[in-house]
Structure 1
Amino acid sequence: MKLFSKEQIYEGDKLTTERQNISSTDLMERAGTQIFNWIHMRMQGAQVPIHVFCGIGNNGGDGLVLARHLITHGYNVITYIVNCSDKRTKDFLINYDRIKSVTKEWPIMLSCSGDFSDVVIDEKDIIVDAVFGIGLNRPPNAWVQELFQRWRASKAFTLSIDIPSGLYTDKAVEDENAVVHAGYTLSFQSPKLVFFLPETAKYSVQWEVLDIGIDRDYLMQTETEVELISKFEVLPLYKPRHKFAHKGDFGHVLILGGSYGKIGSVNLASSAALSSGAGLVTAYIPKCGYHSMQAALPEVMIISDENETHISKINFDISPTVIGVGVGLGTDDETAKTFEEFLKQNKTPLVIDADGLNLLSKKKALLKLLPELTILTPHPKELERLVGKWSDDFEKLNKVKAFSTKYNVIVLIKGAHSITVYKDKMYINTTGNPGMATAGSGDVLTGMISGLIAQGYEPLAATIFAVYLHGKSADISLEDYGYQSLIASHIIATIGEAYIDLFKQPEQPNAQEQEQEQEQERQNEK
């Protein structure tokens, strides 16, 4: 799914009105009606007080359309105008007149005086936030911030329209008290990047996309900087196997790493590479891990360094398709020198994780030795050592994009929504869960990416696909183990199920769900 920028959304709205020969007011009516349909399908006329707070721009206009439909369908609605300036949009004014024609209870005007005596909200009520939309470019003034804080203090369920008010689409928040904390956000046509970043995701517990009929050609043809990756995006990447395939068709992974006490990292990465589909896997490890690796993974071949405790020399006579390097490697001085010599001579595609990243951070001149499209998989601290400190998530993304462009590498920013970055493009993953915050999870991912490259996947596709499968495997394992008991080995054990899940058809809705969908279709027709 494409994530459109603020500017692209405005352009899409403009083109839609031109190509569909409708007014911007008609498009606003369509958007507000879709919000109403979503609420009506779930509430079915329940008389819970619904407080609709409307700004005086187009987001407020959407709120007025919603309030009008709620009123005409008999809901218990209290509408407010957050009268924060004199700059009212044309479509807001049109819908302000329209709501006055369907009720004697005109919207309550909230002025800059900060008097909220007319705002009485119970914990069991519902708040609809339609104050500010994506066009906000400065913090709300103090009295609006106070209003938002009153909402939060009420503990009422808060539904935001398009984006939580006070949240920007393209920069960091200055004051969290100036942003609505929404329980749910209904986002028009596509989600917003800020829904997935660590610092801003907290402002909406859940989100859902509403299709408001933006021109299809525009949506299909417009390139976006950010894409959201789910099953439907990775399924076309999948490479099926032919009947007469043999192990030589699926490449040879070399996992290079390990040190005394950290052979398990290589074990996990090697096992994950095999379970992801690599034809052959060899582990290059110090001598101390030889017997344990042979016993634990009979499918994996072993090359051992002459040194007992760490890798002191990298010398092998095989021709791997890809090398996954760094897991459990250590940063011993001898290992660091060996790693540098290896990079100077290596021409094989690389996936670099853990101590491989730490060694690059200590001597950044080594970055120039990396083959094109090398994949780097840092966790936050490792990323900071590579690109430098950042003040917020947006600066972090800009630093990573610049780093990727400078060295022509792929950087995977690991997190709750792992983001694969290649130059100016970003791919946000949707699978995974907090149970993955466990030792060895990253080693598994290194093996999976390496295993996919070995099978012929291009490095960028391999990274995107492996991150999805990694998270999906953990989601499947979660059903048996829960967050606390999930370990890295469980993720490997369910890689096969994650592959199978790619081809599962969604379950058919039950009779009640079908009835609700039909009701929504009838409302759309109206």
Structure 2
Amino acid sequence: MSTLKAVSSKLAAEIDKELMGPSIGFTLQQLMELAGLSVAEAINREFPLKSAGEKKNVFILAGPGNNGGDGLVCARHLKLFGYNPIVYYPKRTEKVEFYKQLVNQLSFFKVPVLGPENNDNWLEYLKADKTVCIVDALFGFSFKPPLREPFATIIKEVCDLQDKVPVVTVDVPSGWDVDDGPVSEPHIIPKILVSLTVPKPCSQFLQKSSVHYVGGRFIAPEFARKYGFEPFEYQSCDQILKL
């Protein structure tokens, strides 16, 4: 396996900027599509439907930024994989047309998207005996405390459930600092972390029982070395690699 090296929030932002700059030319939509697919693949790897029994629901918590967009994409792929995703999207981004398109795509596939009108009863859709996992796609590496509502309450409720329903986190656990780890109480303890592009320093605070994947297979080997980490040795057509 490739040598594992985490990159700071500052360096991660520089990587994204160059990837979407004129010399490389990725769009945010492309990177988000690959990121969301990676998370869906990790869920399918860890919780295959053939062993899930009657549990098919995946409850996705989508935040207002790019991390939330990854969650929306993940939900679409999970639906196509045969799961029953349910999305809770309490603070929608109205200024970016792409996020509206992602919601429209979920509607096209008949994926429920709960909104502000469900703030008080969203937990009715999250039943431990029917839910494979919770996807934490609330905040990414740009999170700065303190937690504000409704997210403070959402994270508290997830923390109360995480011993019964495993949490799959997208890139950085919500309420964690990308470099310093858990900075809020209570805080999410992910069963699975899917680091995008390359792990961030907060990944060192994962519990030993947690499973760690890297996803987002869009980095050329020379580009990885330029930023100080070895390319990850993805296999065949896999979009994820267990670390």
Tell me which amino acid in the other structure corresponds to 1:25. Answer: Q
Matched residue, 1:157: 166
Identify the match of residue 109 of structure 2 among 77, 88, 102.
Answer: 102
Query: Do the aligned residues in 2 keep the contact of 1:56 with 1:88 (CA within 8 Å)?
Result: no
How do 1:139-178 and structure 2 match up within 5 A? Answer: 139-154=146-161, 155-171=164-180, 173-177=182-186
* Higher alpha-carbon Rg: 1
Query: Cα 1:215–1:12, aligned 2, differ >3 Å: closer, same or farther?
Result: farther
Match of 2:5 in 1: 2
8 A Cα contact 2:114 2:122, kept in partner? no
User: What's the counterpart of residue 215 of structure 2?
Assistant: 210
State which of 21, 28, 41 in structure 2 corresponds to 1:24: 28
Contact 1:12 1:215 in 2 (8 A): no
Q: 1:522 to 1:134 in 2, by over 3 A?
A: closer
2:90 matched residue in structure 1? 82
Answer yes or no: is the 8 Å Cα contact 2:189–2:206 preserved in 1: no
SS in 2 for 1:187: strand
Please say if residues 29 and 62 of structure 1, whose CA atoms lie closer than 8 Å, have aligned partners that are also in contact.
Answer: yes
Task: Give the C-alpha shift of residue 203 in structure 1.
Answer: 10
Residue correspondence of structure 1 range 253-264 to structure 2 within 5 A: none
Distance in 2 separating the partners of 1:172 and 1:51: 24
Please list the CA deviations of residues 333-364 of structure 1 after superposition, one character each: whole Å capped at 9, or x if unmatched: xxxxxxxxxxxxxxxxxxxxxxxxxxxxxxxx
3-state SS in 1 of match to 2:152 = helix
| 2:35 and 2:70 in contact (8 A); partners too | yes
Provide the C-alpha distance between the structure 2 equivalents of 1:49 and 1:172, rounded to a whole number of angstroms: 29
1:38 to 33, 38, 42: 42
Measured at CA, do residues 212 and 111 of structure 1 come closer, stay the same or move farther in structure 2, by a change above 3 Å?
farther
Contact 1:13–1:214 (8 Å) recurs in 2: no
| CA shift digits 1:448-480 (9 cap, x unpaired) | xxxxxxxxxxxxxxxxxxxxxxxxxxxxxxxxx
Amino acid across the alignment from 1:95: L
Report the CA distance shift for 1:172/1:160 in structure 2 as closer, same or farther (over 3 A). closer
Residue of structure 1 in register with 2:74 after alignment: 66
Distance in 2 between residues matched to 1:172 and 1:184, nearest whole Å: 15
Partner SS, residue 209 of structure 1: strand
Contact 2:217–2:239 (CA under 8 A) maintained in structure 1: no
The whole-number CA distance in structure 2 between the counterparts of 1:181 and 1:110 is 26
In 1, the alpha carbon distance for the partners of 2:95 and 2:174 equals 17
In structure 1, distance between residues paired with 2:227 and 2:209: 27
> What secondary structure does 1:78 align onto?
strand
User: How far is 1:121 from its partner?
Assistant: 2.3
Tell me, which stretches of 5 or more residues in structure 1 are unaligned? 229-516
**Structure with greater helix share of residues:** 1
Q: Partner of 1:99: helix, strand, or coil?
A: helix
1:522 deviates by: 7.9
Deviation of 1:127 (Å): 0.7
| Helix, strand or coil at the partner of 2:18 | helix
Q: Tell me which of the two structures has the higher relative contact order, counting C-alpha pairs closer than 8 angstroms and 6 or more residues apart.
A: 2
More moved, 60-69 vs 74-83: 74-83
1:216-365 to structure 2, matched below 5 A, reads 216-223=221-228
8 Å CA contact retained: 1:54, 1:61: yes
SS at structure 2 position matched to 1:121: coil
Does the CA contact (< 8 Å) of 2:75 and 2:85 recur in 1?
yes
Partners of 2:10 and 2:207 lie apart in 1 by 24
Output one character per residue of 1:246-278: Cα deviation in whole Å (capped at 9) or x when no partner. xxxxxxxxxxxxxxxxxxxxxxxxxxxxxxxxx
* Residues 156-207 of structure 1 deviation map (CA, whole Å, 9 limit, x = unaligned): 1111011111111134644321x322111111122221222xxx44598332
2:60 maps to 1:56:
no
Note if contact 2:20-2:28 (Cα within 8 Å) is conserved in structure 1. yes
8 Å Cα contact 2:65/2:93 also seen in 1:
no
SS in 2 for 1:182: coil
Q: CA deviation at 1:91?
A: 4.4
Structure 2 unpaired stretches of 5+:
none
Offset, 1:147: 1.7
Contact 1:15 1:215 in 2 (8 A): no
Residue type at the aligned position of 2:217: I
Q: What is residue 337 of structure 1 aligned with on the other side?
A: none
Superimposed CA distance per residue, residues 125-181 of structure 1 (whole angstroms, 9 cap, x where no aligned partner): 21111111111012221432222222232321111011111111134644321x322
In the aligned structure 2, how far is the partner of 1:141 from the partner of 1:203? 30
Instruction: Assess, with a 3 A threshold, how the Cα gap between structure 1 residues 135 and 112 changes in structure 2: closer, same or farther.
Output: farther
Could you tell me which residue of structure 1 aligns to residue 143 of structure 2?
A: 136
Query: 1:95 Cα shift?
Result: 2.0
Give me the whole-angstrom Cα distance separating, in 2, the residues matched to 1:114 and 1:108: 11
Identity of aligned residues (%): 23
- Distance verdict in 2 for CA 1:38–1:215, change over 3 Å: same
Equivalent pairs counted in the alignment come to 226
Alignment check: 8 A CA contact 2:60 2:88 kept = yes
Equivalent residues in 2 for 1:407-486, closer than 5 Å: none
